[in-house]
């Protein structure tokens, strides 16, 4: 949904939740004059009311839009929803009873929790250990069952809280003995469980967000690669290219230029072998791409003779950098496609590169008949580079020259 709709919904839910919670607490106090019970039940009832309202609205939206939704899957999880609601309610009641017990007489659990949070060594230790544990449990391929993962979280929180409470009890009592006051230890243990659970939940959420972002980035790269491969395949294995190549080969055979015909066939085979080999590669060294271009230019020279020339000015350091396969070939073919090629006024293409970028430039020789072009080749090249490196392809066009600059990775 658009961000403005989400923002409005957040505001509405907060306002409605505050109003309903306040009215519900007043209604509960009318029948049960217990402040703790009024807070607990009003909070739970308000949350449930908002949650089930969202579920009903989503189901209504599915029906209005006539979308075939898999509602059976959500229905199968309702029992877990009710179990979680009951568990949270039990925890709230248990916490209220615990904090009102003699164990916390004259003190508050928040005082102990704040003491833990305000201790920089303790907070850093809790956070670092939690990050390591969450990363191990969430990305452990052997643990495929979620109950085992959650059991691992519970055990981890319990052990860390127990050790942390023992350390804080010793520091609080300022004794060098292992034995500590059991009541003081329980206070620190409960506060430590609350702190560690909160930290653990935050770390899990952050890890989920980063995992989703990484997955989305990989999917964008795969989509861009698929689009670029399709554009490359369409650019090369199209009827015009095959017709021109076969027509040129037929001319060599008819003129009995067998050696040139054999060389032409070998270069054409090398071109397709290179494209097949690089089909699964996102990047290739610039040196390999330039070798591929030289074979492509040699094939076109047979067809156009002295109609065009290609000059190279590439630094040795740039040869070790990476480019998207077939990128340079697509840009050279675009120059041949959109410009007139004649021996009287040859098309001059310059391929130059430094350590940071590669530039393909040609003089502009307009054709009498403008060729049809979809622009998909350059579009896919631009999207591919932006996805891989967040760098854009730069195009500079005038009446005299046409220049394309792509980053070297």
Residue 285: strand pairing partners: 322
Average confidence (pLDDT) over 1-28: 77
Mean pLDDT over each residue of the chain, to the nearest integer: 80
In the prediction, which pLDDT does 353 show?
92
Determine the pLDDT at residue 403: 93
Instruction: For residue range 110-137, list pLDDT tens digits in order.
Output: 788 888 888 888 889 999 999 998 888 8
Q: What is the mean pLDDT of residues 165-177?
A: 76
CB-neighbour burial class of residue 270 (10 A; exposed 0-12, middle 13-18, buried 19+):
middle
362 backbone dihedrals φ, ψ, rounded to 5°: -145, 155
The contacts of residue 364 (CB under 8 Å, 6+ apart) are 339, 397, 398, 399, 400, 401, 402
The predicted model scores a pTM of 0.49
Residue 72: per-residue pLDDT: 52
pLDDT score of 240 = 63
Sequence-ordered list of residues with C-beta below 8 angstroms from that of 306, at least 6 positions apart, any chain: 343, 346
Q: What tens digit of pLDDT does each residue of 75-90 get?
A: 566 777 778 778 877 8
Of 17-26, 142-151, 309-318, the range with the highest mean pLDDT is 309-318
% pLDDT > 70, the chain: 83
Of 133-142, 171-180, 222-231, the range with the highest mean pLDDT is: 133-142
Instruction: Determine the pLDDT at residue 142.
Output: 53
Comparing 236 with 80, the larger pLDDT belongs to 80
Location of structure tokens 């329980």: 186
> Is a pLDDT exceeding 60 seen at residue 141?
no
Close Cβ partners of 71 (under 8 Å, ≥ 6 residues apart): 59, 62
Helix axes 182-236, 327-338, angle to 10 degrees: 40
Is the per-residue pLDDT at 352 higher than 90?
yes
């Amino acid at each position: 949904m658009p961000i403005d709709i989400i923002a409005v919904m957040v505001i509405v839910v907060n306002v409605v939740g505050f109003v309903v919670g306040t009215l519900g607490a007043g209604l509960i106090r009318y029948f049960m004059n217990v402040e703790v019970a009024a807070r607990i039940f009003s909070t739970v009832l308000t949350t449930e009311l908002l949650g089930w309202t969202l579920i009903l609205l989503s189901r209504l939206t599915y029906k209005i839009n006539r979308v075939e939704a898999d509602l059976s899957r959500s229905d199968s999880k309702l029992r877990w929803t009710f179990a979680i609601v009951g568990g949270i309610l039990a925890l709230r009641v248990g916490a209220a009873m615990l904090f009102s017990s003699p164990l916390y007489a004259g003190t508050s659990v928040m005082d102990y929790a704040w003491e833990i949070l305000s201790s920089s060594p303790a907070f850093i230790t809790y956070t670092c250990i939690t990050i390591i544990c969450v990363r191990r449990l969430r990305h452990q391929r052997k643990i495929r069952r979620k109950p085992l993962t959650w059991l691992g979280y519970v055990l981890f929180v319990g052990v860390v809280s127990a050790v942390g409470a023992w350390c804080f009890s010793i520091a609080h009592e300022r004794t060098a003995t292992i034995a500590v006051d059991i009541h003081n230890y329980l206070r620190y243990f409960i506060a430590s469980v609350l702190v560690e659970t909160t930290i653990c939940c935050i770390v899990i959420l952050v890890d989920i967000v980063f995992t989703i972002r990484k997955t989305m980035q990989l999917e964008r790269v795969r989509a861009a690669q698929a689009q670029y491969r399709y554009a490359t395949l369409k650019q090369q294995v199209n009827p015009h290219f095959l017709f021109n190549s076969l027509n040129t080969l037929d001319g060599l055979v008819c003129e009995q230029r067998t050696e040139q015909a054999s060389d032409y066939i070998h270069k054409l085979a090398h071109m397709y072998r290179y494209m097949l080999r690089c089909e699964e590669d996102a990047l290739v060294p610039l040196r390999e791409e330039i070798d591929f271009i030289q074979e492509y230019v040699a094939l076109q020279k047979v067809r156009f003779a002295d109609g065009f020339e290609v000059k190279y000015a590439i630094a040795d350091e740039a040869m070790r950098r990476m480019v998207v396969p077939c990128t340079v070939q697509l840009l050279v073919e675009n120059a041949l496609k959109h410009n007139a090629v004649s021996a009287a006024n040859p098309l001059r293409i310059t391929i130059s590169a430094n350590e940071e970028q590669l530039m393909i430039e040609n003089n502009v020789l307009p054709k009498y008949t403008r060729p049809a072009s979809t622009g998909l080749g350059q579009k896919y090249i631009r999207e591919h580079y932006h996805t891989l490196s967040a760098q854009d392809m730069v195009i500079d066009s005038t009446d005299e020259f046409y220049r394309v600059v792509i980053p070297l990775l």
